Amino acid sequence: MTPAHAEWPEPDPALLADGPHKDEVLYGEALIRRTYELAGPGASSLSLRYAGNNLACGSCHLDGGRRRYGLSFIGVTDAYPRNMARENAEQSLAQRINGCFERSMNGRPLPEDSREMAAMVAYIEFLSEAAPAGMEGRGAPAVALLDRPADPARGELVYRSNCVTCHGADGQGLRNTDGPGYAYPPLWGPDSFNTGAGMHRIITAANFIRANMPYGVTHDAPQLTDEQAIDVAAFINVQARPERRNLDRDYPNRALKPVDAPFPPYDDDFSQEQHTFGPWPPITAARETRAHR
């Protein structure tokens, strides 16, 4: 069996030998699963309120970052440090975590030498220890792009049929009954991710949705078609959410900007609407043509 198709590991930090390392890894797991309580609005100390919303890292990184194709952390440490197109600079894992805190968590960065950052990095490193290099399953399988624009109106029908049970007709999720945070997170509104988050791009959101939603489906037995996933992602992303400032500074090398980035400037003549909703294949084809000149 090749590393890419190896059996998915199931690391359990509870099985670590007692001691400081285990304590740090378990604290990191708690931060991922209960971000809103330990490093967000519910934190006991104001200085620990880094996340600006009541989501958890686990709202997107499913099962505490352990689910295959659920934006898993397993194997992530092999990828860092890496050059990030959004900043056009090399980033460490800690810097990448802070990007999520500023965008998906709509908050502020943690000091890179803080106990909380060290714990989250330790947890992700622990999860990655069992993963052979090149193992598939970190992200989500790519949907087939449409030859038409994504349609929020069609997406609303998909949402009403498949998503309201967990996320609500108003998209505001379902609160935990025994404390802060959400059993199912809000998909838009003031307590959701901001416009700078990766999930605010339709292709990125559609990839995740098709592989994982409705909650409980798996990448190899999806409930939604590629088309439905793209349309419902469009419906979700036309709703109001916190605005991130200075998005024009993202992707300083415009040639590396994702085709579905919903904010200008771009390095081509396609409209902001087409970048946002598609169809994207003409944009990709134009880039490939230009790259081979």
DSSP E strand boundaries for the chain: 82-84, 89-91, 174-175, 182-184
Q: pLDDT, tens digit, for every residue of 187-241?
A: 999 999 999 999 999 999 999 999 999 999 999 999 999 999 999 999 999 999 9
| 180 touches 41 (CB < 8 A) | yes
| DSSP letters for 11-35 | --GGGSPSSHHHHHHHHHHHHHHSH
If you classify domain 11-129 with CATH, what class do you get? mainly alpha
- Length of the chain in residues, anyone? 293
Task: Give the whole-angstrom CA distance, residue 84 versus residue 257.
Answer: 11
Q: Within the chain, which residue ranges are assigned CATH 1.10.760.10?
A: 11-129, 152-237
If you classify domain 152-237 with CATH, what class do you get? mainly alpha
Task: Give the whole-angstrom CA distance, residue 99 versus residue 237.
Answer: 20
Say yes or no to pLDDT of 1 above 50: no
Task: Give the whole-angstrom CA distance, residue 57 versus residue 70.
Answer: 12
Q: Which amino acid is at 151?
A: D
Q: pLDDT, tens digit, for every residue of 118-172?
A: 999 999 999 999 888 788 898 899 999 999 999 999 999 999 999 999 999 999 9
